[in-house]
Amino acid sequence: MSLTNAQYDMILYQYEMRQRKSRHDMQKRLAYVHDHIPGYRELEDAVASVSVEQGRKLLDGDNEAMEDLRDSLAELSGRKAQLLEDHGLPADYLEPVYECPDCQDTGYIDGQKCHCFKQAMITLLYEQSNIQEMLRTENFDALSYEYYEGEDLSRFKNAVNTCRNFIKNFNSDYHNLFFYGTVGTGKSFLSGCVAKELIESGHSVIYFSATGLFDLLSKNSFDYKNRDELRATYADLYQCDLLIVDDLGTELTNQFVTSQLFALLNERHMGRKATIISTNLSLEELRNRYSDRIFSRITSNYEICKLSGQDIRMYKKRLLNRK
C-alpha cells in the first residue's frame, strides 16, 4: 500500500496512543483492586517470590523447578481470579483491553500488517482523496448503460473497459486517462469508479476540480506565509499514485495556470505517476486554450476517451420532477 512516511507515522502514532490508553486503563483498574480487595497485593508478591525461588533452584540444577514454577503460578493465578470474582469483578478484570484483539493494538501479526492497519490506511487514503462522499454513489456498483444508445453507448462501453483495464494493470503499467466530451456524459463518474477501486486496494488518490486545484496553488503561491503548505501540496500532487483533475477548462485560464498545469503533468510523467483528466473541451479547444506543450503531453501520453450523449444529470432531474 502507498503511504508517505508522514502518513505511515501518523497511523503508528495512533496505535501508540491506543497502547498507552490500554496501559493507563489497566493501571487504574489495578489501583482499584489494590485499594478495595484485601489480600490481592499479597498474592502478587507471592508470584514474584515463587518465581525468584524456583529460578534459583533451576540454576542449582533442580530439573523439577520449572514444572514446580508452572504449577505454583497456575495455582496463584487461580486464587487471584477467584478473589476478583468474590468481589464482583470478572476474572479477566486486569487483562489488557484492546481495540483490535487480533494484533493487540500493534498493527502487525507475525510481521504482517493486521486487517485493522490496512483499514486504517484505506480510511486515511479516502480522507486524503477529497472525494469520500462522492464515491458513495459514483462507483462501479452504480454503473448503468440505460442512458446511452447507438454510438454514445459504444463510446461509454469502451471507456468503461478502458477504466477496468487501467485498474487491472495499475501496478504493472504506467498509464494516464483523458476523458473529454459533452456535459453530463459520465466523465466524472468514471473517474470516481477508478478512484474507489484503487483506494480500496490501498493506493493514494487525490481528486481536485480544476478550479479548486488552481485556486489552491494560486493562494499558496502568492502568500509567503503558506510556503510550507505549498511545498506539502506539491509533494502530494507529484507523488500520489493517482491524481484526478476534473473539469479542466472551467478554471480561469492564464499564464500561471498554464505553467502550473504543464509542470504538474511533466513532473508526474517523469515520475511515472498516473493522472486522469476530464474536460468538456474538445481537443481543438484544448489546444487553443493551453500551450502546444500541454496539448502534446496529453495527446502523446494519455489514453483518450471521448464520451457523448445526453446530459444524464439533467435527464435524471427531469425524471424526478415528473414524479
Last-in-domain residue among 41, 75, 109: 109
State residue 123's pLDDT score: 78
State residue 311's pLDDT score: 84
Q: What digits encode the pLDDT tens for the residues 140-193?
A: 999 999 989 999 999 999 999 999 999 999 999 999 999 999 999 999 999 999
**Burial code of 26-61, b = ≥16 C-beta within 10 A, e = fewer?**
eeeeeeebeeebeebeeeeebeeebeeebeeeeeee
Please say if the pLDDT value at position 317 is more than 80.
Answer: no
- What number of other Cβ atoms are within 10 A of residue 181's Cβ? 22
Last-in-domain residue among 59, 76, 109: 109
- Lowest mean pLDDT of 20-34, 117-131, 141-155, 205-219, name the range: 117-131
Tell me how many domains the chain contains: 2
73 and 212 in a common domain: no
Please compute the mean of the pLDDT values over residues 263-268 and round it to a whole number: 94
User: What percent of the chain is predicted at pLDDT more than 70?
Assistant: 93
Spatial separation of the C-alpha atoms in residues 261 and 100, rounded to whole Å: 44
State residue 1's pLDDT score: 42
269 and 143 in a common domain: yes
Instruction: Report if residue 13 sits inside a domain.
Output: yes
Instruction: Report if residue 59 sits inside a domain.
Output: yes
> What is the 3 state secondary structure string of 97-123?
CCCCCCCCCCCEECCEECHHHHHHHHH
Please say if the pLDDT value at position 2 is more than 60.
Answer: no
State residue 133's pLDDT score: 76
Last-in-domain residue among 109, 141, 162: 109
Which domain CATH number covers 287?
Answer: 3.40.50.300
Please compute the mean of the pLDDT values over residues 277-299 and round it to a whole number: 94
Q: What digits encode the pLDDT tens for the residues 291-312?
A: 899 999 999 999 999 999 988 8
State residue 280's pLDDT score: 95
User: What percent of the chain is predicted at pLDDT more than 90?
Assistant: 56
CA distances to 2, 8, 11, 121, 247 from 16, rounded to whole Å, are: 21, 12, 9, 16, 41
84 and 27 in a common domain: yes
Q: Please give the single-letter amino acid code of residue 102.
A: D
215 and 92 in a common domain: no
189 and 76 in a common domain: no
Give the global pTM: 0.68
79 and 29 in a common domain: yes
State residue 107's pLDDT score: 92
Paired residues of 274 in beta bridges: 242
Instruction: Report if residue 120 sits inside a domain.
Output: no
Nearest to 202 by CA among 241, 236, 230: 241
304 and 155 in a common domain: yes
Please compute the mean of the pLDDT values over residues 186-213 and round it to a whole number: 91
* Higher pLDDT pick, 55 / 250: 250
Spatial separation of the C-alpha atoms in residues 186 and 112, rounded to whole Å: 39
Q: The domain containing residue 29 runs over which residues?
A: 5-109
Q: What digits encode the pLDDT tens for the residues 101-149?
A: 999 999 999 998 888 888 788 777 777 666 777 888 888 999 999 989 9
136 and 258 in a common domain: yes
> What is the 3 state secondary structure string of the chain?
CCCCHHHHHHHHHHHHHHHHHHHHHHHHHHHHHHHHCCCHHHHHHHHHHHHHHHHHHHHCCCCCHHHHHHHHHHHHHHHHHHHHHHCCCCCCCCCCCCCCCCCCCCCEECCEECHHHHHHHHHHHHHHHCCCCHHHCCCHHHCCCCCCCHHHHHHHHHHHHHHHHHHHCCCCCCCCEEEEECCCCCHHHHHHHHHHHHHHCCCCEEEEEHHHHHHHHHHHHCCHHHHHHHHHHHHHHHHCCEEEEEEECCCCCCHHHHHHHHHHHHHHHHCCCEEEEEECCCHHHHHHHCCHHHHHHHHHHCEEEEECCCCHHHHHHHHHHHC
